[in-house]
Amino acid sequence: MSTADPLAPPSLAYFADLSVEVGKPEVLGRGPRGMRRVVPITGGQARGEGWTARVLPGGSDFQLIASDTLSELDARYGLETDAGDLVYVQNHAVRAAPAAVMAALLRGEPVDPSQIYFRCNPRFETASKALGWINERMFVGAGVRHPAEVVMRFFSLG
């Protein structure tokens, strides 16, 4: 019988670094919950231990600018590994910063990443046998928004 504590805090294991290229945001207007924007995903790269992939163009980051200090993000896009495996990514994120920093970020200006809380919870789906284990795990990550790309590091929860 195992003596490991099933309620112990999860460990983190490195999974991948992503650089996701993004286009100009389309502002859909302000609704009852905040301002809605859709940011096109135009490409990029992913690199994990023993694998690399390209970010497929055609995805989008659906954003809710909930307040002058908080954005809720829902990015959906695909990856194609160098081995030809396809992976669907849905990444929920929270981005928070002081109002002046968030305003600069939303205008597309470079900002100091240390001023922004950017944490995410990506989920992956694939038919790949080699990567099938990612269908059965939870992931967390951190990100940095640059004017034309989002850089993220993902970890699996152990």
- Can you give the residue ranges of every domain in the chain? 12-157
**Confidence (pLDDT) at 3:** 77
Q: Which CATH number fits domain 12-157: 3.40.50.2000, 2.40.160.20, 1.10.1740.10, 2.60.290.11?
A: 2.40.160.20
Q: 62-89: per-residue pLDDT in tens?
A: 999 999 999 999 999 999 999 999 999 9
Residue 1, pLDDT > 70, answer: no
pTM for this structure?
A: 0.94
**Confidence (pLDDT) at 149:** 96
Amino acid at the residue 106: L
**Confidence (pLDDT) at 102:** 96
Mean pLDDT of the chain: 96
Q: Which residues of 1-10 are buried (b: 16+ CB within 10 A; e: fewer)?
A: eeeeeeeeee
**Confidence (pLDDT) at 42:** 98
Q: What percent of the chain clears pLDDT 70, i.e. is strictly above it?
A: 99
Tokens, residue 58:
């055609």
Residue 2 confidence class, pLDDT cut points 50, 70, 90 = low
**Can you tell me the distance from the alpha carbon of 34 to that of 54, in angstroms, rounded to the nearest whole number?**
32
Q: 19-50: per-residue pLDDT in tens?
A: 999 999 999 999 999 999 999 999 999 999 98
Helix (H), strand (E) at residue 107: none
